[in-house]
Structure 1
């Protein structure tokens, strides 16, 4: 069975290596300290509209937006739905075990996976079925077409009937020696199920799991398991039939899902996913540099060093901004045009690992301590 290698452990390993290199060149590691942010530019009018509290979030939570609601979960096993306009809790249901992955939702069915490797599906606020899984899961299930799809840590993909819980099919690929304890890619583009399997983006027939196309974005290299670790991480940018993704610490690239072919790929050393618009794709490198690439060909457009070493979340494109959370609970708004700061907001001071989302003109941010914040334009 593959060993699970957490992003935090990898970050610590990379940081130790970086510190060793810097120590050999200088007597100080001040270069690793975040720069002072200075005064808040406050060029955008944004206010805290509401806040709520759930249990701490110590797993790779993916907040699911359906209309004006958001579905989320906490490590204690609670799954809940909030009205993004007011922060009101619409329902809250315990699933009886700590949660490892979630939330998947189509607005009718909601799905999570527990740390006991059990897939749990709810209809609104009622648990309707459970299914035992043979592997750990760190990616939110995908609920689509009256099916629930699950991406396992062992590179397996399985499909279940959303009504009954009957297992429809399972496809297995050879696993690597190490896999990330981090959410991966699992989505639908048209009638194709798209999954990240190691360093490959794979299109599958959702009816039987057969491979339709297979595109390599990164290949294992190096002499040991850590150096050879490749995986596609959660957070992607989709425009029509084009999807852009990140391979952990190795590359970013875009794929044409109709042709099943890479449009471009470029070396990049980040650990969190991407977002984008019709012209550009935005991402965060491992040292906190924020980059924009031209969507058509991957050429760099701008780079911002202002948030280096702040351990940033994956970005969200919102209006004329790129929004990111950091390890101190700050929410940063950068200009999509050139990366200059527009404003920043405070939460509860704990890290923001969950990618921010937007629903009903409300920016929703979740912190590690379980703070849930709704920010709206003034």
Structure 2
């Protein structure tokens, strides 16, 4: 059971609580919905405090690439390859734009409600649809190369490489297609828990292997050629008195750097893993539903409540916390230079110093919520909001 991340935090809790009540047979949960509940005031998003910028951030361009994500809880963001930005939206199709100028290179119109992607590689741009459609386009021209179908909606960006297109659907299945023909090569299933958060991210490609974050709190390594599982490792234990407390989803794409894989769980756990053999290197008690961002000496994660943490890359020890964005539905982070960048529910983009987590700058990318993690390429930070507004920034 999944609920849109675009719902407010309090509404998501209410819906999840209702689900737990229905499953457990309980008639009420005392205090949660009382008008006298003092937690209502605490549930409001933290008001942004004034800051003194220590860096200049310029908006380079913005472009409209569609819309329709408002109530679907999609973390739809762009991808960059060879100086082009590829972006898509539920209503709007797929766009290719010049990274430096934002000028449209091509636009592929489609009746498919594009909900996952784009993913790019091997001359292809691949997107998924709300009804399980998979569309592969020529990256140079936008012409359709092939189409395929999976059994459930696709809200994660497909991953392209090593002669395959890997599509993750919301039912926990990963399907591998031949990148040249679209022929299905294999699929792999992973059972879902009774209750999960809405959202999953793409899979991570390594040399001959694939890493998948699962809704039960585990990460699995699969063989690229046939989907055979090579190891399975719990990042967080799904412990608790009910299904809500046991939610441990690894919703963010794991990050592979050299031989180390970094994965984070909404159970407030982040782990560094020796990727070839699945051996844990360290585990930290901070983590969240989005992908981690890896810098030169630290890993940055966003927790579900909006707290942003930096962890020591070699040990997992907490280096700093930024608590000024609590309950603002903060995105997963990205790292550019010596800052980490996150977006929030009001379209603000926050630039945090990697050294200490202090606010270095604040910009805005329209007034709508940003759900997808910012994307960094060639020193440019790209942010896409749920209204399909794509904005490019550069720090001066």
TM over 0.5: yes
The one of 311, 329, 341 aligned to 1:311: 329
Q: Contact conserved, 2:122 with 2:161, CA < 8 A, in 1?
A: no
Name the counterpart of 2:338.
320
Name the counterpart of 1:56.
67
Whether 1:110 and 2:110 are equivalent positions in the alignment is no
How far residue 138 of structure 1 moved from its aligned partner, in angstroms, is 2.1
Whether 1:370 and 2:385 are equivalent positions in the alignment is no
Q: Matched residue of 1:233: which SS? A: coil
Name the counterpart of 2:150.
133
Name the counterpart of 1:254.
272
| Stretch of structure 1 that moved more, 292-301 or 150-159 | 150-159
How far residue 347 of structure 1 moved from its aligned partner, in angstroms, is 2.1
Name the counterpart of 1:12.
10
| Stretch of structure 1 that moved more, 189-198 or 228-237 | 228-237
Could you say what the CA RMSD is over the residues aligned between the two structures, in angstroms?
Answer: 2.6
CA distance in 2 between partners of 1:181 and 1:26 (Å): 27
Name the counterpart of 2:356.
338
Name the counterpart of 1:288.
306
TM-score, length basis structure 2: 0.87
Q: Contact conserved, 1:238 with 1:276, CA < 8 A, in 2?
A: no
Whether 1:75 and 2:90 are equivalent positions in the alignment is yes
Unaligned 5+ residue runs, structure 1?
A: none
CA distance in 2 between partners of 1:242 and 1:22 (Å): 44
Name the counterpart of 2:165.
148
CA distance in 1 between partners of 2:38 and 2:197 (Å): 33
**Alignment: residue pair count:** 376
Question: Would you tell me which structure has more strand in proportion to its own residues?
Answer: 1
Q: Matched residue of 1:12: which SS? A: helix
Q: Matched residue of 2:371: which SS? A: coil
Q: Contact conserved, 1:185 with 1:232, CA < 8 A, in 2?
A: no
What are the residue-to-residue correspondences of 1:137-286 with 2, within 5 Å?
A: 137-198=154-215, 199-268=217-286, 270-286=288-304
How far residue 293 of structure 1 moved from its aligned partner, in angstroms, is 1.0
TM-score, length basis structure 1: 0.91
CA distance in 2 between partners of 1:280 and 1:84 (Å): 28
Unaligned 5+ residue runs, structure 2?
A: 18-29
Gap change, CA 1:13 and 1:329, over 3 Å in 2: closer
